[in-house]
Structure formats: structure tokens, C-alpha cells
Chains A and B, each alone.
Chain A
């Protein structure tokens, strides 16, 4: 992330960095203070919009149109990297045909961003020697999330901003070890190190490595699991350290699904809303009570060290899994603990092959790290070059799954605030709670006026799937016709409102857009 200080132009889209990834936010502000240029594309007036040279306030869900529009101008004004595109990419002609349809006037109609402003941003980005693109869940949490990411990759390839210092595409991950959970094969279609379940070769490799027969069928994603549980096809679930009742879309459906299971075991450090529904709850350990590694958003594998002893009779999660495996009749044994587990990971995961606890003692290492003498890889070309050449993907703008309509006229978008985290089970049990003890739904002054609402009034928010109550904050940080909620507060379980529509490729739910309606209520109707 410190590379952001060496870039010329930063294009930030769908990321409220100063609240969700604050230290990366500091770097962006530092870059701006050092004279770097910043383009922010966000419907909300996020803090970094104030630092931006250009702020593009696109309508939610119109990112592809916006990005294609930028590419259109860069092509038209001949600001693209012809040599890079010729030598290192493919699929250009087909893609170009699509992008040519996104002239600034048309993009203005779709996104609401003035044509002149779009042109100015495109020129700023296109003229830079080294430019970076930073994005987060504002890009991925849409039914078109994968396409959004691809269109950003297109823009990077077009301008040659790939795999060189001070340039590139930076996705920001939400929770601390999202990267590691993916790397380790916590995914229905991948073994550790992104080795495909569908590939016979990988399956045989792991079958041999683990000494068992392995199931062939690719697994279900979270959203599909919930549907399958609801339908009675999944009978039992084991949930470790997640709270889908608050974090997943369409919460009422999730609750029904979990209740419908024959057996639910939850392993966590608190009695979460999900654990409440379990038949057995197993007490795990927090990051301060165990050893191991986390992998951050830069793919840097870093140590987690035990600082205090275990609480009560709780156990580190790794020990619990091993003990359960033993009870199931499997002779798993890791007497040297996480050090030994990492040795096993290194043996079956090529990108972690050179990793060991010893090497991580003073500083983390960025994967791929294929051998014990490999220093790690700070710049990853592969992100966009899995196929040897960067491929242009022709992607079209498509509207959100549920746009506001007459019945549900307001557009709800969701996100995070600085002082709380995820479903709040950690941050709300700390002093941070005092900074933001309750949900404050953001609503524009004009919209508030329409509904005769004042700052700090209470409203009921309803969607086709559920309803929640919340206090409001009247602010021009969001545009008229739109409201914003976080998912940190169990008193305002926002995901009762959100929609279970997912991106067909990544299966990421569209948490950023759905239609809602609101009505004023008395404060007494909301309880803590």
C-alpha cells in the first residue's frame, strides 16, 4: 500500500477507504499532500471526495458505464499505451467495439456524471505515466461485481498500468484474513492455493496428499448453502467464526434456513445471533490467545502471536478441529501446533511453499513465495495475467437486480463506519462503541424534507424482504433519493432488507443496491 505514495494518479472507486481501511486511507491522503492526483468515483460524499482533484458522483450500480466511458475517452484522445496493448494483451478489437458505444453523452445519461467531468478524469488518468486503481466492496457487491472488476482491469491494461512499481490495481479486502481464508481453500471450488476442485489432477494430488478419497462435485457457496438448507437438502452445518445472521443478505431467509437444519454447530468467541440458533456451541480463541498467521490485502503473510492465556476452558480453533477429527475416528495429529500446520500447507500450496514461521519472525512475506530462499513477490502481474497475456473483457453495463420503483422508491446502499466492524461482535464490546453507539441512517436533506423528517428522528425502513428501525442523520453526504445503512448493529439488522441476488460468477451478493420505503416512527419502537 505504500506504493500508492509513488503513483501519479490514484483512481479510487467503490471504496470508502478512510473508514473501512483507514491506514490505506492515510496513504492516499499522504499521496495527495505530496502532490499526487486523486480521482474519486462514489455516489457518497466520502471523506476522500474532499481530497479529490475530480469527484465523479455516479448513480449507484452504473460503474461499468462509467469505467467504459473513461476508456472511451482515453481511446478517442489517443492516451492509451499502444505498445503495451500490442505486446501484452489480447481481445482488444472486440472490446473496443463495445467501448466505442460509451460516448460521454451516453455515459452521462446512465451515470449522471457530466460529460466534461468524465473527459477531464479520463485525461488525468490517461496522461499519467504511473496510475493506480483502488477498489473495495463498492465494486464487488453487485450482481455485476465480476464485470465491474474486469472493466477496471481493462482500464489498467489499456493504459499499461500493470505489474510495475507505482501502478496497478489494488483490491481492498474487508475482514482481516479474507485473503488467507481464500488462499487456504475456504472456497467451494478451490483447494489451497487456488487449485481447482474440478481439475482431476489437483483432486488426485490432494487425495494422495491427504490419503483419502475426495468428493468430485464442486461445493455450494454461502448463498446457495442457505437456499439448500432452506429446502432441506443440507442437513447439518458447521460454522466457525462467522455470523451470517447479521452479515448475509436477506437475513430472515438465513434464519429460516438455519432453523431448518437437523444439526448446527457454531464455533465462536461470543454467543452471536448465529450461535443462538445452534445445538452445540464451541468456544474458540481470539487473535490475542493463539498463534498462527493472517494474510493481508497485499498478500503479505504475517504472524499472529499469543499475548494472553486462553479464556476459561476455550481452545484455539485449530485444536478444536483436530480434536473433532479425532472423535470422528481420524488420526490427525499436530503436536507442534500451528508451526506444523504451516509446514503441511507449504507442502501442498505452491504459492506458500517457501513460507515457515521462522521466516516470518521479523517481517511478513508476500506470496507467491515458491521456495525457502525466495524473497516473496511485491508486484503481482498474475492478477491480470493468469493467461500469459492480459485479456480485455468486453463488458456491458447492466442495471441492478432491484432498482427503486413506485412501491419502494428509495435506493438503499450499505457499508461500514470507522468505529465499528462487521457485525459489531468485537468493536461493540470496546470503547469504540462510545464513538458510534447506534445506527444512523444517512438521508439527504431534500429527501428528509419530502418525508417531513428531522435529524435524529426515527424511521422504519421496509423492503420486499423485511423491515428495520433506525435513527437518521440528515446529510448531503449521500445524494437525494438514496439512504445508507451499515450492518454493524443488531438493533438495526440491515440485512433483513438486502437482496439475495448474486453475481453469477463470484456469487457475491448485491448488498449495495435495493429498493426501500421509509416511514417516521416514535423512538420507543426501537430497543437496544
Chain B
């Protein structure tokens, strides 16, 4: 443990912490753009700069380890002025169509401009404009809004291992994109959507959310992925009782990481093929019936068979897709009501 002072207050923190982590854990918010827990720290955006007593330059909080006795100012005049300058440079080359941007209200660039009262920029010049890429099935890429934080590059390379993106060109012309600017379908992209989830601005956006609602109208429900046994945690984005997309949730072992199934595989839930009513087959065709009719019918059939043959004539398959509570009730039903242990599921598959 070392003790450091942040904004005049003394804190004890583990020696391997960065200034950012020490601040975060003590409820002090330092703005960041390029930092993402678990990815390489590049220190590229400089948004997190802080003033450290005795250091000539401002230091990036995300990349600077704490030392014993360190004294840090996170919102000093010098710090704020540096952050303002970074923001002015960013908006100078940003397509500011905030009015209709899907991240309006949920955008780091907006939030920090508001926080530091940056309304305009003195850096006027040519803006880089790129056509919006809508070629892949799952998300759009609007690089006129990219702030080049590099997080999409890192998460794709360091977590997925697909290495789809890189920085192209240099200086003003820098663009973060796939090799040769290719359509993602032609690359090693596995459609995991993790790049979309880390993007702090409106450059990478799920297609399913386009024009569906403003971020503050969307409810996010944390739940467990319905596909494989890894059991990733994720947030379903819900608007007007409809799922419109998925956001990362960091509460599980998946640390916010997802695959294509968890991120983009939810549409079946709202498919028109969903069964909506109980059905009884009569003369070879299914007819819609009420619950009462269906359950009475099933109960009568089961009872009749029970009377004639007893419990050993029954078998039940419970489900590796259903919840624990449902599985529990199902086996209880088979064992206590139908009086058989003939209950199994497709675990083996």
C-alpha cells in the first residue's frame, strides 16, 4: 500500500495501482477516452491528464503508476485547460450531427464538452468526411464520427484475436478501419460486436437500434445469454416492450465480452414464428385452444394413461435451455405426480 493525496485528500491504495484506478476506487471521476479496463494502455488520447506535484508535464492518469507520497490534482486549471484543448481539436474534425446521432446523450465526447463547457472550436479547417459503411449485417461504421481512440482496434486484436482493424495513413488523414478498408464480411471479423460496445462515440452503431429511440428512452435489462454454457452477462436494450439491441455488462466472468450469438442472436425472441397459443391436434391439424381447455385435455389424457399403465408408462424430457426453477418443477412433476424417474434432458448433447 502507498498513500497518495488526490485533490488534497489522503488515500491508501495498493502500490500497483495507476492514478486512474486509485481515483476511480475513491469516487473521483477522471475523464477517459482511450482507456478500457483489460486492454493495453496506450495513453493516446491524453483526456485523463492530471497535475502531479513535482512533475513538469501533465501526466496521463491511466498510464501513470502511483508512488508513495504522490500529490495529484485532477481538475486544476492547467488540467482543465489541457482537456478543453483536446476536446476542441476533436470536435474540429468531427461530424457534429448530434441531433440525430444514435449516441446523443450517451456519448463521451458530448459529455466531456458539456463538462468543460466547450461549445466551439478555434481550429477550423478541412474536415475528413467518409461515406457511412453499411455493408456488414450487424453494425454501421460512420468514420466521420471516429475520435481515433483505438479501443476497437485493441479489443478486436487483444480479446477476440481477429485483428480486423488498424490505423491507416497518418496525421490528419488517420483512419481506423479494416485492412484495405474492406467490407467486414471479407475480413476475419467474427461479428462479435465488441468493437461496437467499446466505441465511446457514434462511430460504430448496431443496425438494429438505428432510428428506434434515443438512448435515454431505452431500458437496459441485465441478464444471462440464452445460448451456450459460458453464461455471459449482457444487457438487453428494450424500447416500447421490444428488444432492439444488446449492450455489454461487466458483472460476469465474461467481463463485458460477447460473441456473435449473445450480441446479435436475439431476434428469434420476437420472431413471428413464436407460438402464442396452446394447440390441440384434431384430425391431424393443430387448433388454437384456451389454456383451460389445453391443460384439462392434457391432465385427462395423462390420468387415463396413468390409471391403465401406471408411472412406468411415462417419460419426460426437461430442458437445458430452461431455467433452474423450471427444471426443478419439471422433475418434481414427473417424480411426484406421474410417479416415475424417467426424466432426462439433452445434457449429453
Contacts and interface: CB of A to CB of B under 8 A. Distances in A.
A177 B299 contact: no
Given A240-B330, A328-B299, A313 B291 contact: yes
A509 B344 CA distance: 14
Interface string A320-364: 011111011010000000100110110000000000000000111
A269 interface: yes
Residue in A23, A263, A280, A507 whose Cβ sees the most chain B Cβ within 10 Å: A23
Contacts of A215: 311, 335, 339-341
A292 B342 contact: no
Interface in A269-298: 269-271, 275, 278-284, 286-290, 292-298
A180 B348 contact: no
Nearest to B251: A363
A123 to B, nearest CB: 27
Interface of A: 1-2, 20-24, 26, 29-30, 33, 51, 137, 140-141, 172-189, 191-192, 197, 206, 210, 212-215, 217-222, 225, 228-229, 233-242, 244, 247-248, 262-263, 265, 268-271, 275, 278-284, 286-290, 292-298, 300-309, 311-318, 321-325, 327-328, 330, 338, 341-342, 344-345, 362-364, 418-419, 421, 425-432, 434-435, 506-509, 511
A317 B321 CA distance: 11
Contacts of B161: 26, 29-30, 33, 51
Nearest to A226: B315
A214 B337 CA distance: 9
30 contacts: A2-B255, A20-B228, A26-B257, A175-B347, A177-B327, A181-B318, A186-B330, A186-B347, A215-B340, A220-B315, A222-B348, A238-B334, A240-B317, A263-B302, A280-B281, A284-B322, A287-B224, A288-B223, A288-B226, A290-B323, A294-B224, A295-B231, A300-B231, A307-B219, A308-B241, A311-B276, A323-B295, A363-B252, A364-B252, A428-B268
B224 A176 contact: yes
Interface in B225-280: 225-233, 236, 238, 241-243, 251-255, 257-261, 264-271, 273-280
A338 B323 contact: yes
Q: Which interface residue of A189, A244, A430 has the most chain B CB atoms within 10 A?
A: A430
Contact of B257 (A23, A239, A429, A430): A23
A286 B226 contact: yes
B325 to A, nearest CB: 4
Contacts of A435: 137, 191, 260
Interface of B: 137-138, 158-161, 190-192, 219, 221-233, 236, 238, 241-243, 251-255, 257-261, 264-271, 273-281, 286, 291, 294-299, 301-303, 305, 309, 311-349
A184 B331 contact: yes
Given A314-B275, A430-B268, A288 B236 contact: yes
Contacts of A511: 349
Nearest to A357: B325
A429 B273 contact: yes
